[in-house]
Chain A
Amino acid sequence: MDLSIVSILMLDGLTNGAVYALLGLATVLVFTVTRVIFIPQGEFVAYGALTLAIFQTGKVPGTVWLLLLMAVLAALMDVRLTWQHTRNAPRALKAGALTLLVPAVVSAISIWAAPRQFSMLVQALLTVGVVTSFGPLVYRLAYQSLADASSLTLLIVSVGVHFAMTGLGLLFFGAEGFRNPSFWDARFNLGPLALTGQAIIIIGVSLALIVLLWQFFEHTLYGKALRATAVNRLGARLMGISSHAAGQATFAMAALIGALSGLLIGPTTTVFYDSGFLIGLKGFVAAVIGGLHSYPVAAVGALFVGLVEAFGSFWASAFKEVIVFTLILPILVWRSVAGGHSEEH
């Protein structure tokens, strides 16, 4: 193994690690605000990559129909809930219409734009719109009415959502895998290192998104409100912050991060309907390194996971997943020693 291989592996590891960092941050975000351990985070990645792939073929991606279906269900639930609370038909219908509005508009544009084969950037934007719209709907349908349940129940709900989303992925995208074209085909040779445009985009977008998230939580009122919900749900509710709205917003951000990760990773590997799960879980390992609450440690942990994976696949490619996922054991030993005493949940 010489220096050039080391540098190639390092670059590979850091590129993948940047995506894992995004997913790890999304996991920490969802967990701190809603107490949900969001196992299906990776499904958004697969949905993102595959939705773009179908747009590329000029067809309407199945996710658009799924989005409409879920939006109608959520709208009906909102109509019923508002009706039960107010017995006021116009208000109930308005609540339903509000829920339906964004997904319906996004779907309509997608259906209109799909056969017209616009540039890849437009298709990428549409993909982000479609997949991000899933976030609040997933929260509304699966989690919202269970928001006060034990975190054990929420975790089991998460594996249910994972099952459903994977199966629906198979239904709407089929068993075939897709590899998206690169956003930027440039190649730069820096000594022994061949830097691809896609790698630059991945690292750049990840960094930008991390800075954006940080700014959002530090400097905007809404970001602070979400942090308040994370610290104390009841207290935040008494301060006029709706925990349902906070949950939906958080899930929208998680879905957005997932969609972007899917776009970023799509050109580097073939994505199948169930590929997202493993990718998402690597972000999860990173989140666990950060104790499910520290953003910076999760981000650094993600780069570490990426590097371990890159070097692992060089030395023992058949066992790369074994190595990455067994890593969680020494990490937890380290955390429990560093953490000292036991924590109550």
Chain B
Amino acid sequence: MRFTPTTQRVALLASVVVLALLPLPDFWITQLNYIALYSLVVLGLVLLTGIGGLTSFGQAAFVGIGAYTSAYLTVNLGFSPWITLFIGLGITAVSALLLGWITLRMSGHYLPLTTIAWGLSLYYLMGNLDALGKYDGILGVPTLSLGPWNVGQGRPFFVLAWLLVLLGAFGLLNLLDSRTGRAIRALRTGSMMAEAMGVNTLRYKIGIFLIAALFASLSGWLLAHFQRTVNPSPFGLKMGIEYLFMAVLGGAAYVWGAIGGALVTKLLEDQLQVLLPKLIGTSGSYEVIVFGIVLVLVLKYLPDGLWSVVGRWLPAPKRRSDDWQRAAALPERAKPALGDTVLEVQAIRKQFGGLVAVNDITFNIKAGQIVGLIGPNGAGKSTTFNLITGVLELTSGTVKFRGEPVSGLPSREIARRGVSRTFQHVKMIPEMTVLENVALGAQLRGHKGAAASMLRLDRAEEHSLLKEAARQLERVGMAHQMHEQAGNLAMGPQRLLEIARALCGDPALLLLDEPAAGLRHKEKQALAAVLRQLRSEGMSILLVEHDMDLVMDVTDHIVVMEFGTKLMDGTPEEVQQSPKVRAAYLGTEH
């Protein structure tokens, strides 16, 4: 018998209440309460580290902000904890946005380094401010009460904390299975592909850092009212690193790994804190030796953590295609009429220092045309491609798309106007299914954000996006591979996946960067058929390609480049007969 995801979730929530009613010893309830508090923090780290590819050693500091804000305001100013929760979250959000905004525009290691410095600063600040009670902290923090019930201790707190953990985990699972989630999962592959799909990568990176910080702050609020006292020690850098340890041990890429990691770490720590001092003969926090060594060993021998072992025994969730059959079709943009000029490239130029990589290249593409861009290695084809798509900045010249200048715009803005592209080296997310990878191409045709995704208010739009992805997969003849993991595909289907993904953006112009590279003969024939079919449907295509058979076979017009300069342009026949082109490819006889 199979349960739907919704019944599974309700059953999990109910099991928390059942556990609280069972006659478990109080000691275990307390242990599980701490594990819930850790799990909340680690859930945020899973999103940030395992899925987003960023990391933070400063999560303990955000826990501290949540805890100290609530403790200070409830003890000194008599605020209700239910109000201070939101004040704490607000202060956390401002700090996270500031840190993220400063560090994430630079390369990936500045965030973790800054969180180390920030975690230390905050620790010493908490420990030295008179208002916060210095290293003694704040005592007598009120417990949480909900109407007449005290929910801040023992079993009621157990229910509150674990319900929050489960709701947080469900929120994250929902988020990952959505438009926003696909964009977040694209962050790890580097910003180039994500930006070409219209994802503002900086915004998403700051976003996941913010969400992770808010989870930590919530945990801090709970901690302050559960312990009824706060002092700086649980918010130091050591704890910040321990949270990361829990995430890595459990499996940083798995939402349920967060809870597993928190559980194992807490139990391990308790055992070690008793065992090691006995073994060594003096007291001290020797458990860090074990933690450090285990961390290195896990990264070496079990890089996906404990959950990757557990997960193997669980049935893989299957996506049901009838979910989206009845979804509304996405609106499409007005396409240019056959024969209109779609792309005007006017005297574009790129200089790298003294080297002129692209030297005043000019050409046009009309609607319904396949234009080939060819030339020997090093001719500047890829640079031209990158200039048109906004990956590189022009030194001079202009690019107009449908009459509107697009030169100088970032690549995601060019994508928004209806230019889709593929990559010379396939860039996809191997752990996602083919369908999800292709749906990433429709990023700009949806609007629902992270909050809507977590609360599942995005389903109508999500189904429309998936329906569009399925339709484009059918268009390139890959409908039968829709639910496979993208990483398992052979080279040919991978290239077709990229074309389907580009088509999902509803483009008026398709730019293909060496789509036949690495393909076998049959796969090339399939590709040529797809290209011809697209043209018959009115698509305009720019094809950068080395495979002469394919280029001569499908193109209407060819631009030949050599040493950054345009050698000639014309029909395939004219190009084939040109002595200049022969000389460029084969050399001249002297």
- Using a CB–CB distance below 8 Å, which chain A residues touch chain B? 37, 39, 142, 145-146, 149-153, 155-157, 159-168, 170-171, 174-175, 278, 281, 284-285, 288, 292, 318-319, 321-322, 325-326, 328-329, 332-333, 335-336, 339, 342-345
Contact = CB atoms under 8 A, between A and B. Distances in A.
Contact of A156 (B98, B244, B289): B244
B55 A152 contact: yes
Interface-centre pick from B55, B110, B280 (highest chain A CB count, 10 A): B110
Contacts of A170: 284-286
B117 A326 contact: yes
A322 B119 CA distance: 10
B114 interface: yes
Contact of A167 (B49, B106, B118, B288): B288
B280 A171 contact: yes
A167 B285 contact: yes
Contact of A164 (B55, B121, B292): B292
B30 interface: no
17 contacts: A142-B296, A153-B299, A155-B109, A159-B244, A160-B292, A162-B292, A165-B292, A166-B292, A285-B117, A321-B121, A325-B121, A329-B102, A336-B102, A336-B106, A343-B106, A344-B190, A345-B107
A281 B299 contact: no
A171 B282 CA distance: 9
Given A155-B109, A321-B120, A328-B118, 10 more contacts: A151-B108, A152-B108, A153-B299, A155-B112, A156-B244, A168-B289, A170-B284, A281-B120, A325-B118, A342-B105
A145 B303 CA distance: 13
Main secondary structure of the interface of B (DSSP, over half): helix
Interface in B225-271: 241, 244-245, 248
B128 interface: yes
Given A155-B112, A157-B296, A157-B299, A175 B284 contact: yes
A292 B386 CA distance: 29
Contacts of B116: 39, 281, 284
Nearest to A155: B112
Nearest to B238: A163
Contacts of B120: 278, 281, 321, 325
Interface in B277-327: 280, 282, 284-296, 299-300, 303
4 cross-chain pairs, A with B, having the tightest CB-CB distances, nearest first: A164-B292, A163-B292, A167-B289, A160-B295
B114 A328 contact: yes
Contacts of B55: 152, 155-156
Contacts of B299: 146, 149, 153, 156-157, 160
B109 A319 contact: no
A166 B293 CA distance: 12
Nearest to B202: A342
A64 B57 CA distance: 31
Interface string B208-226: 0000000000000000000
B300 A167 contact: no
B568 interface: no
B109 A167 contact: no
B109 A151 contact: yes
A169 B300 CA distance: 24
Contacts of B114: 328-329, 332
A344 B191 contact: yes
A155 B174 CA distance: 30
A164 B241 CA distance: 12
Interface string B531-567: 0000000000000000000000000000000000000
B109 A37 contact: yes
Contacts of B300: 145-146
Contacts of B296: 142, 157, 160-161, 164
Contacts of B290: 167
A326 B121 contact: yes
A342 B113 contact: no
B61 to A, nearest CB: 11
Interface string B36-78: 0000000000000100011101000000000000000000000
A167 B286 CA distance: 5
Contact of B292 (A37, A167, A329, A339): A167
Contacts of A318: 128
Interface string B160-193: 0000000000000000000000000000001110
Nearest to B106: A336
A37 B115 CA distance: 14
